[in-house]
Amino acid sequence: MTLCGIDEAGRGPIAGSLVVAGVLLNNPVEGLMDSKSISEKRRELLYPQIIQNAIYHIVSFPAHAVDELGISECMSIALHEIQEHISAETYLFDGNTDFGVSGLETLVKADATVAEVSAASILAKVTHDREMIEFSKLYPEYAFEKHKGYGTKAHVEAILEHGYTPEHRRSFQLKALKGVEIKTYTSNRAVS
């Protein structure tokens, strides 16, 4: 039986892309686990091993697409796209909802128990985190490399001080920002 494991990263952050990955392993990869339970360094080591031993497809939705379409619609589009790009007998998505996509099985904590879903979890997380590290170079005031876009206290304080960047999801409402008028980010660094 061919199995395509699917998982996402970046569903909860207030900045950055939503990333969904599908993986069909051609060969076993040692050390696969839920991406959240292993170190960033370990994920980076596993990433190329997965790429070399799998058929995979990664779909990303930048912040403005998440704002325009909503998480559920983005997830549905991504799941359909993975089914179109990877031919498998079974498609297994980590979680408990299929986002209205037929031919998809779901399993809570599949990323911790099914190698293909663990591999998808790692591809999605590394892709998401690499993007946040790149954004930290563009917007150093926000320390994206540390919180990866999640709504930490330091991140909220940076938004209050510097405003929203184009990488922020304006549709995600945080209590700490409710009723506060937030400006749009403008760099105070000289352009060369």
CA 191, distance to chain mean position in Å, is 31
pLDDT of residue 35: 87
Q: Kindly calculate the radius of gyration of the chain based on its CA atoms and give it in whole angstroms.
A: 18
Q: Please enumerate in sequence order all residues whose Cβ is within 8 A of that of 64, keeping only pairs 6 or more positions apart, or say none.
A: 166
pTM over 0.75: yes
How large a percentage of the chain has pLDDT more than 70? 97
Helix, strand, or coil here: 119?
A: helix
What pLDDT, on a 0 to 100 scale, did the predictor assign at position 188? Answer: 59
How far is it, in rounded angstroms, from Cα 26 to Cα 8?
21
Query: What are the tens digits of pLDDT across the range 40-81?
Result: 999 999 999 999 999 999 999 999 999 999 999 999 999 999
- Mean pLDDT, contiguous 10-residue spans, the chain (192 residues): 96 96 97 91 97 98 97 98 98 96 97 96 97 96 96 93 93 78 70 41
**pLDDT of amino acid 13:** 95
Answer whether 66's CB lies under 8 Å from 74's CB. Answer: yes
Please tell me the distance from the alpha carbon of residue 151 to that of residue 191, in angstroms, as a whole number: 29
H/E stretch holding 132 reads: helix 115-138
Rama region for 10: left / alpha / beta (φ>0; ψ in -120 to 50; rest): left
pLDDT for 191 equals 43
Query: Which pLDDT belongs to residue 185?
Result: 83
Tell me the domains of the chain and their CATH numbers.
3-130 (3.30.420.10), 137-177 (no CATH)
